[in-house]
Structure 1
């Protein structure tokens, strides 16, 4: 295939990939929103809602390394299509059960677990395949479009789901999800997941245990990858707590209504969408770790602002407006961290190990979320919210300075620092 043909195919991938992700994520978001409302209406129990949340997080954290192994050792296209088909069959099975036996919370739990397994395989495999779908020059745009799809789904899913919930039964939510996944399946079936692959035609498959251990060894041998992984672990640990803390401050201490809190959360999704569009139109960041460090420091500083309404007398609408602006800014800083690191890791990790590395990163990062939620949930019950957020902000600041110290940045981007050194000398 000529370079011109590959470039045209990559352009097709860029838009097809974006469309399939957006449609699938939107269908998933609508279903997730509908199921959440259904569980709360059926049981009136926050615990039932929390159990369903655990069913959507814990299985993915457990199976992600296996998904990474499969992504590295088996055809990516086949894995993604099988996982998408599994999601359709899961929704179809729940729909059939509902029609014959009636909807039950236990059936929803089982379906959520099965769906989470399928999404883990498709998600990790897609993450490891982005660099083989498009040319390196458009990698940042592809990742930006991926994030754009997630942001649009985060905004549109609750809106569509909220409207549907008032007029349609749960069966319709399941049908919408199946249709969305069916469209995504058809789009992904037309894509060439080896377009920019650097691997040979015959790839020797590793045995499961050896393959998983190979992923661990690869990470240990690459200092920068290890540092980025540690950074993601710490960020997920503390920011899961920050999410609880900010919600606690806004709703419990400042008594903001749930309706207005919805606008505040939507501002975060809008911020991510705008940041995604910005990165999609800009040249690739030359020093991604340095750029991420700056945004992490700004993000840790912005957390301090969350406690200001507790000390300053503001009107109700000013409080809502303040947090809308704060969530918007924080989401932009988050994108300033995730986007450059995502592009950098795609290029840094060898194709043979990309799935396993992303799978292990996802497991470690996601496993920190429930831990952070439990720890911070207990802390906010017994300690002042202001002190917890101030200490957390300081810890994030210090961890950033330690992990992304100048020697690490110089090792990651020697060409930039060598050039700067030469300019200073001259």
Structure 2
């Protein structure tokens, strides 16, 4: 039976989507400007790498703690206060830059603050989605948000390049600050407890005799224990993350092929990446307008199998030595399909987590997913980058595809969980 959205839920959806669009565009413009400054103005990849390292390490350290905070504190307050601090960090960077000029130290400080509070806010938002919307409407919500995020991520660098080229870094910061304010105001209007279920009571905050650090660690452990105790959850998260490990080469190889092997120009690389992002946009629109997916595991299994075959096909232009037109159309098409399928997989993935996780544990489960992903995926990028630099393309992709197919067939079988 289909559940129709209430007026309040529709208002939630409107505010949520506008908030996502504004903050994603603003963040993409800001990230482009920071990256351009670090790489172009300083001429050093090291300074750029340090900024990435600060972001990654901060996220990895704080994410487990953010899960505990999400489960034990008011999620709306976490989001609102966290977004206010994020907005304040950009305001301070704007003031410092306006009066004293842009400096590496100020960038690194703001990167640290934003990584810290983004991890907390994003975790609270992930855990709150099923409280903001009815479970039967999650597919539509996730489809629309995925489509909007992909579109905004695609537009962000274009706007960033345009603004940075014709104006100043201060204007980029001012626009990001304005978009952050818009996002903050719409998030403030959201009802975060529309479909909230009563949580199990706890004494984490009220017990004055407690060792808070030990309690934090105990609660983080309890999140991982809970994750492992639910078979379908542990399968979807752990196997899904390992499959994504072997899918990581598809994020590295196309760029290397286009830039270092097939001699695409920067504009041509950008167009292919834009078409690739359109795959996610189209998938989001499709999911928002199609009937509810019933067999989540089947969709994930066949989706990953299709992705595995695409992994095998990606390096073919290297060996065929065709003209640019063929290589351009081939990569554009195959990457569009790849990201379309990945977006289809992502919605059942997130929905299973929401459906199978008790509300009082969602923060810790989502933070556990963040820790596992952020710990293992960068290793995959480094590994595949090293292998491709050695000139091996086809063989590692075949091995990866075979592993993905085997994991999908063995573990994403609905009969295992009946």
Partner of 1:49: 48
Partner of 1:424: none
Alpha-carbon distance in 2 for matches of 1:12, 1:26? 21
Alpha-carbon distance in 2 for matches of 1:396, 1:248? 22
Partner of 2:287: 279
Q: Does the aligned pair in 1 maintain the 2:33–2:169 contact within 8 Å?
A: yes
Partner of 1:327: 335
Partner of 1:365: 373
Partner of 1:100: 99
- How do 1:375-414 and structure 2 match up within 5 A? 375-404=383-412, 406=413, 409-412=414-417, 414=418
Q: Does the aligned pair in 2 maintain the 1:34–1:170 contact within 8 Å?
A: yes
Partner of 2:212: none
Partner of 1:179: 178
Q: Deviations over 1:160-188 (max 9, x none)?
A: 11111111111111111111111111111
DSSP 3-state at the match of 1:191: coil
Q: Does the aligned pair in 1 maintain the 2:90–2:173 contact within 8 Å?
A: yes
Alpha-carbon distance in 1 for matches of 2:52, 2:276? 20
The yes-or-no answer on 1:314 pairing with 2:313 is no
Q: Does the aligned pair in 2 maintain the 1:25–1:153 contact within 8 Å?
A: yes
Partner of 1:226: 234
- How do 1:16-415 and structure 2 match up within 5 A? 16-199=15-198, 204-205=203-204, 207-404=215-412, 406=413, 409-412=414-417, 414=418
Q: Does the aligned pair in 1 maintain the 2:223–2:361 contact within 8 Å?
A: yes
DSSP 3-state at the match of 2:321: coil
CA spacing shift, 1:238–1:200, aligned 2, 3 Å: closer
Alpha-carbon distance in 2 for matches of 1:286, 1:49? 44
- 1:99 offset after TM fit, Å? 2.5
CA spacing shift, 1:401–1:411, aligned 2, 3 Å: closer
CA spacing shift, 1:59–1:239, aligned 2, 3 Å: farther
Q: Give RMSD over aligned pairs.
A: 1.9
User: Which shows bigger deviation, 363-372 or 326-335?
Assistant: 363-372
Q: Does the aligned pair in 1 maintain the 2:237–2:369 contact within 8 Å?
A: yes
Count of aligned pairs: 407
User: Which shows bigger deviation, 240-249 or 19-28?
Assistant: 240-249
TM-score by length of 2: 0.93
Q: Does the aligned pair in 2 maintain the 1:64–1:362 contact within 8 Å?
A: yes
- 1:200 offset after TM fit, Å? 5.1
CA spacing shift, 1:22–1:204, aligned 2, 3 Å: farther
Alpha-carbon distance in 2 for matches of 1:202, 1:364? 28
Alpha-carbon distance in 2 for matches of 1:273, 1:14? 18
Alpha-carbon distance in 2 for matches of 1:204, 1:389? 50
CA spacing shift, 1:308–1:201, aligned 2, 3 Å: closer
Q: Does the aligned pair in 2 maintain the 1:271–1:331 contact within 8 Å?
A: yes
- 1:275 offset after TM fit, Å? 0.3
Unaligned runs of 5+ in 1: 415-426
CA spacing shift, 1:238–1:110, aligned 2, 3 Å: farther
CA spacing shift, 1:289–1:46, aligned 2, 3 Å: same
